[in-house]
Structure 1
């Protein structure tokens, strides 16, 4: 658990989450995004319910495995980003083509948040079947209805505010999402309003709420030089993911990306050997998607490849259904 001190006052008049800073945001011309393979589609649709309407982009690969049900990955962008920007930066569509997955990118409009942040700090957007969680879950179910999706291989991931929203979705909908990815994000319940959100981002949110029910396998990435979302929030996501589990165990390995960042990878399992959480701490990295493409914002091409590792983790962790006696 992270114990952070030195509270810095937050201006109550602040109206938007900070966008942060990262590679690809300095005004330089970005390279083109990966071209769409022949036969693949990347289309726009929308979903509406009582909480509002959200548009989304859906990637359908050419590799569809003869009509067999496919895994589905839900990707939640960070502040100031868009579905197209996030897809370009993470290159998740390229990996989906390799592995035969659907990928959906819900979009947060500026009408819902001036910086297009998911409102993870708002209590109305932290619970099941209300606010933004109901919209994200509704998009997920709409894609599952309209396409052949394996219900045991539905996953959700996000960056920064999107990572915090992904943590909320995993806790609120453990029956829908088999595993969660949180990159440079915060745990569920880290804040209850805008001032506490700024405090959590700058220094950690203190004790976190344990999740109820069965744990959802979670993979966490965080740079140890992140000055937008304090790295101890990554530790708190890990602590939350394994809270209440008897006999958790951990193994750690260290690595180095050639010409890039060093990292530690810590694998947490329960007493039966089932994965609870995988934590990547990236040495020298800031607030950016690790291993991403400069075609998108908030990416750090110096690795490790968060998209590839997340998808590997997801596909290794389909939903565990109770055995029938």
Structure 2
């Protein structure tokens, strides 16, 4: 078994390689969602509601990476810039340092990475609160995330496939990649050597879903040394199996020097897209010049001559929305219904399972204490 000291050394090396963090104040455009159910994962929630929204707005859920904040990720990726132009609404779940000292979503924890538990359930509750408060079109809910946020995107797509029309996984990992810190570090270097059907079975067994599956886009830097691009291969194999598609794509293109492949269903609808960004390391691809300019380069937000934000939004049909001058009703902090009280006819979702108001200390206590003590010793946590 790999020693804890070796794991901590790996974390130290990863932190050093990551360079400056994005915790410093960025020009914040987001506002906090103060109440969204029982919140068993003890996360924060922020949102962006543009001044003009579509008549029946779409919702995009955006998950930041390690060392990042919701405001910092939005500033880097430029999502609120597109929301202003096209009238869709944004939700940004945000990790707290008390949950993870590096602000990573806990995608490797069994307390958080399965349906109706911990952080996964908290994010679902946030989404249902946004549906209730802002009249979201429940057929147009999408999710994307970077790195740990990308891994959590895989988890949300597998755990709640009935909730999402599509997802985009950026520098992430396949669903079921890890259940503890050691497995997480090993998976980041090299995913399990499983067949596509074995990987697909992990998704199929994550819920009792029998309906259509969400479409998936995969974005990964070919030179990523933090989360190796073999993880993108595993994500692709996993979702090709889920969608019952052949390995050969319907088309392959070169876009700005990057390989793009796409898989369609029998009716010609795109189900899986795969972008491999040449010579790019660990981060979200940006284009900051030209007509597609969107976002701001910073650590892990990398100029690549291609805007993942714009291309993801376009593939989901979000850039076609007609906006209207309409202020959405605000969330009433005192009287807003909790997600547990939403009816299936109103939200288009089945009733939430019951959950305790707070995360049980036993879920994370002993393991979290060991990791935090080691990180303090390594100088990674105050």
Q: 1:203 to 1:92 in 2, by over 3 A?
A: same
Deviation at 1:48, TM superposition (A): 4.5
Larger proportion of helix: 2
For 1:125, what is the secondary structure of its paired residue? Answer: coil
Give TM-score, length-normalised by structure 2. 0.71
1:228 — aligned with what?
A: 226
> Which of 214, 217, 222 is matched with 2:215 structurally?
217
1:307 — aligned with what?
A: 309
Q: 1:27 to 1:165 in 2, by over 3 A?
A: closer
116-125 vs 160-169, which moves further:
116-125
147-156 vs 284-293, which moves further:
284-293
Q: Is the 8 A contact 1:159 1:182 kept in 2?
A: yes
Give a deviation string over 1:118-175, Cα, whole Å, max 9, x none: 1111122221111111001111111111112111000111000000001110111111
Inter-partner Cα distance in structure 2 for 1:283 and 1:233:
16
- Matches for 1:112-127 after TM superposition, within 5 Å: 112-127=99-114
Give a deviation string over 1:222-252, Cα, whole Å, max 9, x none: 0010000010111111111121444535134
2:351 — aligned with what?
A: none
1:284 — aligned with what?
A: 279
2:185 pairs with 1:198: yes
- Matches for 1:215-294 after TM superposition, within 5 Å: 215-248=213-246, 250-257=249-256, 262-291=257-286, 293-294=295-296
2:65 pairs with 1:78: yes
Give a deviation string over 1:7-42, Cα, whole Å, max 9, x none: xx84434469544745xx4589x9975x86xxxxx3
Inter-partner Cα distance in structure 2 for 1:244 and 1:139:
27
Q: How many matched pairs? A: 295
Give a deviation string over 1:238-279, Cα, whole Å, max 9, x none: 11112144453513433353xxxx201100123343322100
Segments of 5+ residues of structure 1 without an aligned counterpart are 1-8, 37-41
1:45 — aligned with what?
A: 33
Q: Is the 8 A contact 2:261 2:274 kept in 1?
A: yes
Inter-partner Cα distance in structure 2 for 1:188 and 1:27:
26
168-177 vs 238-247, which moves further:
238-247
Deviation at 1:209, TM superposition (A): 4.3
For 1:113, what is the secondary structure of its paired residue? Answer: coil
Inter-partner Cα distance in structure 2 for 1:178 and 1:87:
21
231-240 vs 179-188, which moves further:
231-240
- Matches for 1:77-156 after TM superposition, within 5 Å: 77-156=64-143
Q: Is the 8 A contact 2:41 2:120 kept in 1?
A: no
Inter-partner Cα distance in structure 1 for 2:271 and 2:84:
27
For 1:243, what is the secondary structure of its paired residue? Answer: helix
Segments of 5+ residues of structure 2 without an aligned counterpart are 205-209, 288-294, 319-347, 349-382
Q: Is the 8 A contact 2:51 2:84 kept in 1?
A: yes
For 2:275, what is the secondary structure of its paired residue? Answer: strand
Inter-partner Cα distance in structure 2 for 1:241 and 1:234:
11
Deviation at 1:182, TM superposition (A): 0.2
1:60 — aligned with what?
A: 49
Inter-partner Cα distance in structure 2 for 1:276 and 1:27:
34
For 1:265, what is the secondary structure of its paired residue? Answer: strand
Deviation at 1:283, TM superposition (A): 0.6
Larger proportion of strand: 1
1:184 — aligned with what?
A: 171
Give a deviation string over 1:206-229, Cα, whole Å, max 9, x none: 322432243210011000100000
Give TM-score, length-normalised by structure 1. 0.82
Q: 1:19 to 1:252 in 2, by over 3 A?
A: farther
Inter-partner Cα distance in structure 2 for 1:86 and 1:198:
23
For 2:111, what is the secondary structure of its paired residue? Answer: helix
Give a deviation string over 1:179-210, Cα, whole Å, max 9, x none: 01100000100112111111110122332243
